[in-house]
Amino acid sequence: MAERSSGYIEGMIEEDKRSASAGKYLVWEDITVVAPQNLRNDATSRKQLLNGISGFAEPHRIMALMGPSGSGKSTLLDALAGRLPANVKMSGDVILNGNKRKLNCRDISYVTQEDLFLGSLTVRETLEYSAHLRLPSTMTKDDKNEVVDETLTKMGLQDCAENNIGNWHLRDEPTSGLDSASSFFVIWALRNIAHDGRIVICSIHQPSSDVFNLFNDLLLLAGGETVYFGEAKMAVKFFADAGFPCPTRKNPPDHFLRCVSSDFDQVIAALMISQRINYGSSGSLNSEMNLTTDEIKGKLINEYKSSTFSSNARKRMREILTLQEKPATKSNKENSSSWWRKLCTLISRSSLNMSRDIGYYWLRSVFYILVAVSAGSFFFKIGTNYQAIVARGKCDGFIYGLMICLSIGGIPFVIEELQVFRRERLGGHYGDAMFVLSNFLSSLPFVVAMAFSSGTILYYMVKFHSGFSHYLYFCLNLFCCIAVTEGTALIVSAVVPNLLMGIGAAAGVTVFMMMPSLLFRRLVDLPKIFWRYPMSYLSYAAWSIQGQFKNDMIGLEFDPQVPGEPKLKGEDVLLHMYGINPKISKWWDLAALAALLVCVRVIFYMVLKYKERASFFTHRLYAKANFQHKAKRAPLSKEPLISSRRHKTLNPLASQEGLGSPLP
């Protein structure tokens, strides 16, 4: 629940219970993280996010990770948990329990700020499914439930354990978020967890003095460097010894951030321009206070490097690394649940989410039935007269066109599941293939129900070609078409960055796939380049409609246009009017749909697995082209349009905050 306190707790790393009992330590030594800039990726354009960060975290203690925006807090947490992006380079060592930390280490739990849960599940169910995914298969169900009950008790969630977590359209007030008072309880609960023998590191933003007093240790960052690392209660003394004492009535965390955050200089400068306030007339009690925030930050960083706090931290790190033996660690397979158990857990959780969330499938099922009833009444008992030849083609196009478009409605709920999947994949709980398979199997009953319910209504109202085999083919064809469309929507949802773009892109892909079908032109009349080859073979709408034409027309006889002439055979109608070869079995069209169904799921898997790598490569190409374009453009003026901090005298920090006030 740490991520529920938005604005207070930005992230948290916790050592897992399996290693907590051993009383070990987490050590990070000379962590340096470098990321490429937007325009180029050479040595001169890389940005240093962290610079030689060292420290350690002990069990039975809770550490606060603080710093202004962009100071490197999230980067450090990502580095400790092994979750840095692929384009970011890291040097240094992260040692947990005497061993160098591996990527996606299962002994480290990472709680992010964002809400990344299935909103239809209760708090207890969310913890239960997480326990079944993460805890070893050797543990019984009762043992896992005991762990869940213990977690609920420690976090004080007993009263809301049966409440739904809530999502973008379903919000439950008891679990919708935490206010400033509740953040104290959260830190108190995390402190109790730490006292049980775990290591807890929290990235927190401007805590109150009461909350700050709950922390044992403090790591203060600024510009990717260490400003202070040591006991939280000694930070005030460090700032005072460095020449920047905390005012008597000022909250210490606010004072720390005020000293190292350059944004305050810009705020004061803006106030001076807009309000013509002379902040420089207040004077200072200490000449060393007449510094800008950047100068104060640099002075604090240098003071820490030469302080006893830094030397004591290095000494303690050496003691930990020397005394700590490397225990025999179990493999991830031994520490986690079995592959089959994970798959069953994911299917159960996803099925429960789909069945509870009315917008996932139930609402769409109602619309599928309404469309089926509407189309059935519109083409009721279509018959076999001459006009029915064209009417049957329009009926098939009407049915498949609307059924395909309705599949777009599931994108918001798919995106929610994808967000949860990405979080759990980073934790090493399961892989891409297992998610793809579980998603398909859990959605299968709903898609089958939608296809057969709407297909049955349509078949008997329109009076398509009679016979059980024709009825079965129609329903199977409709099922495959809906399933392929949903698979396409999954691919789009995994590629696009947000919901609105997902809906728009899915609608565009759907229309694009319907264009080479028989709705607009005969397949034989399509331009051979692109539309005939390959689009008509990639279009699931084309295979669906063509197969249904064969299923409905072959074997029927229609009245001639002129009375007295021979009846028109369905095979001739297919060949001459629609350009479809009736000798090719309709089951080949269904087989092609099934092949497309497999292909879209494989593509979905590939997108999940390689999207980050591909997006980074694409971004580099775009950035390189953009840089070359900007390099060719001559500057309009060599003079700066606005004055910068370099050309403006900023007020000292002392005159802004009265830093010369005595210590309490």
Quick: pLDDT tens for 551-589: 999 999 999 988 888 999 999 999 999 999 999 999 999
* Average pLDDT value for residue range 356-365: 91
Q: What confidence tier does 624 reach under pLDDT thresholds 50, 70, 90?
A: low
- Range from 325-329, 436-440, 582-586, 649-653 carrying the lowest mean pLDDT: 649-653
- Ramachandran region, residue 517 (left: φ > 0; alpha: ψ -120 to 50; beta: rest): beta
Q: Helices 252-260 and 293-305: crossing angle, nearest 10°?
A: 110
Tell me how far apart the alpha carbons of residues 366 and 454 are, in angstroms, rounded to a whole number: 9
| SS3 assignment for 238-261 | HHHHCCCCCCCCCCHHHHHHHHHC
Q: What confidence tier does 638 reach under pLDDT thresholds 50, 70, 90?
A: very low
Nearest Cα to Cα of residue 24 among 320, 304, 277 = 320
Tell me how far apart the alpha carbons of residues 8 and 203 are, in angstroms, rounded to a whole number: 9
Beta strand segments in 102-160, E: 108-112
State whether residue 407 is helix, strand or coil: helix
Q: What confidence tier does 18 reach under pLDDT thresholds 50, 70, 90?
A: very low
- Ramachandran region, residue 177 (left: φ > 0; alpha: ψ -120 to 50; beta: rest): left
- Range from 71-85, 161-175, 461-475 carrying the lowest mean pLDDT: 161-175
Nearest Cα to Cα of residue 129 among 116, 114, 118 = 118
* Average pLDDT value for residue range 385-413: 88
What six digits make up the tokens of 453? 């319910």
- Range from 95-104, 118-127, 222-231, 602-611 carrying the lowest mean pLDDT: 95-104
User: How much is the pLDDT for 128?
Assistant: 93
Q: Please list, in sequence order, all residues whose beta carbon lies within 8 angstroms of the beta carbon of residue 367, skipping any fewer than 6 positions away.
A: 406, 409
Most confident of 144-148, 354-358, 413-417, 597-601: 597-601
User: How much is the pLDDT for 106?
Assistant: 59
Tell me how far apart the alpha carbons of residues 426 and 432 are, in angstroms, rounded to a whole number: 11
User: How much is the pLDDT for 182?
Assistant: 74
Q: Is the pLDDT of residue 279 over 50?
A: no
Tell me how far apart the alpha carbons of residues 98 and 26 are, in angstroms, rounded to a whole number: 8
Tens of pLDDT, residue by residue over 446-484, are: 999 999 999 999 999 999 999 999 999 999 999 999 999
Buried b / exposed e along 584-619 (16+ C-beta atoms within 10 A) = eebeebbebbeebbeebbeebbebbeeeeeeeeeee
Give 657: exposed, middle or buried? Use CB within 10 Å, 0-12, 13-18, 19+: buried
Most confident of 507-516, 599-608, 627-636: 599-608
* Average pLDDT value for residue range 160-184: 67
User: How much is the pLDDT for 100?
Assistant: 80
Residue where the block lists tokens 């590191």: 201
**Residue 516's Cα: distance from chain center in Å?**
35
Residue where the block lists tokens 């916790």: 14
Cis peptide before 247 (omega within 30 of 0): no
Tell me how far apart the alpha carbons of residues 512 and 543 are, in angstroms, rounded to a whole number: 14
Triad 109, 113, 117: Cα angle to 5°:
75
User: How much is the pLDDT for 47?
Assistant: 84
Tens of pLDDT, residue by residue over 112-153, are: 776 688 888 999 999 999 999 888 888 898 999 999 998 888
Q: Is the pLDDT of residue 595 over 80?
A: yes
State whether residue 428 is helix, strand or coil: coil
Nearest Cα to Cα of residue 219 among 256, 185, 255 = 256
Tell me how far apart the alpha carbons of residues 28 and 354 are, in angstroms, rounded to a whole number: 42
Mean of all residue pLDDT scores within the chain: 81
The DSSP call for residue 358 is I
Bigger pLDDT: 169 or 7? Answer: 169
User: How much is the pLDDT for 107?
Assistant: 66
Tens of pLDDT, residue by residue over 333-355, are: 555 678 899 999 999 999 999 99
Q: What confidence tier does 326 reach under pLDDT thresholds 50, 70, 90?
A: low
Q: Is the pLDDT of residue 388 over 50?
A: yes
Between strands 61-66 and 217-222, the pairing is parallel
User: How much is the pLDDT for 656?
Assistant: 44
| SS3 assignment for 459-525 | HHHHCCCCCHHHHHHHHHHHHHHHHHHHHHHHHHHHHCCCHHHHHHHHHHHHHHHHCCCCCCCCHHH
How many C-beta atoms surround the C-beta of residue 404 within 10 A? 23
Tell me how far apart the alpha carbons of residues 257 and 193 are, in angstroms, rounded to a whole number: 27
User: How much is the pLDDT for 192?
Assistant: 87
Q: What confidence tier does 500 reach under pLDDT thresholds 50, 70, 90?
A: confident
Cβ contact 190:202 at 8 Å: yes
The DSSP call for residue 282 is G
What six digits make up the tokens of 488? 């396409």
Indicate the domain borders of the chain.
26-113+178-277+291-323, 368-619
User: How much is the pLDDT for 21?
Assistant: 42
Decide if domain 26-113+178-277+291-323 falls under CATH 3.40.50.300.
yes
| Cut 0.85: pTM above it | no
User: How much is the pLDDT for 87?
Assistant: 77
Q: What confidence tier does 41 reach under pLDDT thresholds 50, 70, 90?
A: low
What six digits make up the tokens of 273? 């321009």
Q: Is the pLDDT of residue 356 over 80?
A: yes
Nearest Cα to Cα of residue 656 among 240, 220, 254 = 254
